[in-house]
Structure 1
Amino acid sequence: MRLYDLSHPLETGMTVYPGSPPVEIGRTATIESDGYATSRLELSSHTGTHMDAPAHMRPDGDTIEAIDLERFRFRAVVADCRPLEPRTPIDENRLTEAVTVSETALETASLLLCYTGWAEYWGTDRYFEHPYLTADAGDWLVANDLDLGIDALNVDPTPGADDDDSGPNDEGPGTNDESSGTNDEEPGTYPFHQTMFEADRLLLENLRGLEALPTDAVFEVQAFPLAVADGDGSPVRAVAVVD
């Protein structure tokens, strides 16, 4: 059995969704001065490798702390969608063609990991130009009772540096505003999020290390969020467990 860390470390100045507050981590006590060390963490609930709960966009959606703990242990399969150009839409056909496990194996899975290769660009401007999933891909995932993880900043298009719309309230897709869920797959709109959340599915974003995982087998992924009261999402330590 091998464990694979699929999470980006939390650190000051790390990549965040356009308009989200910057991450700041600082010492509040040191061993030298106080005899112990503690730190202050200032970050959004959707910072780094994180989970989106349905409450991220739906007023009636489940909040992160209300979801049963068993939902955070997944039977996962990888869909290697590479090669992909910047801002390439991944539709149902492209997604299903990238799944190489058998139909029988897929029926036992609860999480599909969309491998775009975009983790390679973490910390660069190109990271914001990631591929994204379309609403019909979401329909297929919902029909197959699958949650979705991706090695990119967002499952929908992300506004670039030259885009004016950085999302509702300048917090990215982090509000419970139904008006953000349009059918236009444009930066600042969230059709894939909405499709998944309407079916109470979970989303994992900003994964890394998917290249180390098997594409021909089902394996376990654990991704437990913080128990944030009335939480719309949370950073996670996502770990793959491969026999």
Structure 2
Amino acid sequence: MIIDLTHTISPETFVYPGTPRPAFSPTRTLAQNGARETLLQMGSHTGTHMDAPRHILPDGCGLDQLPPSQFCGRAAVLDVSHLSAGSYITADFLRQQNGYLRSADYALLYTGWEKKWGTEAFLSEPFPVLDEEAARYLVCCGLKGIGTDAISVDPLDCGEYPAHHVLLTGGLVIVENLCLKKLVGRKDVMFFALPLKYAGADGAPVRAIAEFRDFPEKEMMEE
């Protein structure tokens, strides 16, 4: 079974404060040209998207420099929707998932914020984020990346992006604005998030999907 984890991008799509909204305009039409073509104008971090090290780090690599293997892997889906608005996901909580995380390539954080998508609350209410120690712990787990259904892994009013710095310096990619509700409680998730490949990509929209798979019994027992 394939599950789509991606929000559809439209001119009404929520964007990070200060980022221009997407704009679509036809460049060719069926009536005039016999084919449709659309000019897409949007920021590189629009909708369900991936952050590259280049997004934050002066000498960070772009998504175009990473191998395709970076963009897929087994996912540990962590339900943190019990946390109140503005709470921090701590390293102590993550340590309780140690075996599960150590057998995964991606940690996907379900905060419950995807239910607010399309409402003002998605941006106006503070969502659960990682504290700096938790971000360091995830780096130590040897992951390829982390995902969240919120718009960031750092608070919107935090201009220094501590979790971003730790994760991206540690070689992880970050996927934001995911749809994760259908994955909660599953431990058989294979995750794919394929970004647009353009030169110097600091980030890019992705088509994120999940596939339910039977993993080897030994890996399951390690959890």
What is the TM-score normalised by the length of structure 2?
0.89
Q: Which residue of 1 aligns with 2:15?
A: 16
1:143 pairs with 2:113: no
Aligned-pair CA distance for 1:94 = 3.1
> Identity of counterpart residues, as a percentage?
37
Structure 2 counterpart of 1:79, one-letter code: L
Instruction: Trace 1:14-93 onto structure 2 (pairs within 5 A).
Output: 14-93=13-92
Runs of 5+ consecutive residues of structure 1 not aligned to the other structure? 160-186
1:124-203 to structure 2, matched below 5 A, reads: 124-128=119-123, 129=125, 130-146=127-143, 147-159=145-157, 187-203=158-174
The 8 Å contact of residues 8 and 206 in structure 1, kept in 2 or not, is answered as yes
Structure 2: runs of 5 or more not aligned: 214-223
* Alpha-carbon distance in structure 2 between the residues aligned to 1:62 and 1:114: 24
Query: For 1:9, what is the secondary structure of its paired residue?
Result: coil
Give 1:224-243 correspondences, 5 Å limit: 224-243=194-213
Q: Distance in 1 between matches of 2:196 and 2:79?
A: 29
Question: How far has the Cα of 1:217 moved from its partner?
Answer: 1.4
Distance 1:47 1:214 in 2: 24
Task: Report the Cα offset of residue 214 of structure 1.
Answer: 4.9
| 1:114 is aligned to 2:109 | yes
- Cα offset, 1:13, TM superposition: 2.3
| 1:114–1:15 CA distance, 2 compared to 1 (3 A) | same
Distance 2:92 2:117 in 1: 27
**Shift in CA distance, 136/53, structure 1 to aligned 2, threshold 3 Å:** same
* CA–CA separation in structure 2 for the residues paired with 1:219 and 1:70: 16
Does the Cα contact within 8 Å between 2:132 and 2:162 map onto a contact in 1? yes
Q: Report the CA distance shift for 1:155/1:4 in structure 2 as closer, same or farther (over 3 A).
A: same
Partner of 1:164: none
Contact 2:72 2:190 in 1 (8 A): yes
Q: Is this contact kept in 2: 1:157–1:189, CA < 8 A?
A: no
TM-score, normalization by structure 1:
0.82
1:62/1:200 contact within 8 Å kept: no
| Superposition deviation, residue 113 in structure 1 | 0.3
Aligned residues: 210
Q: SS in structure 1 opposite 2:35? A: coil
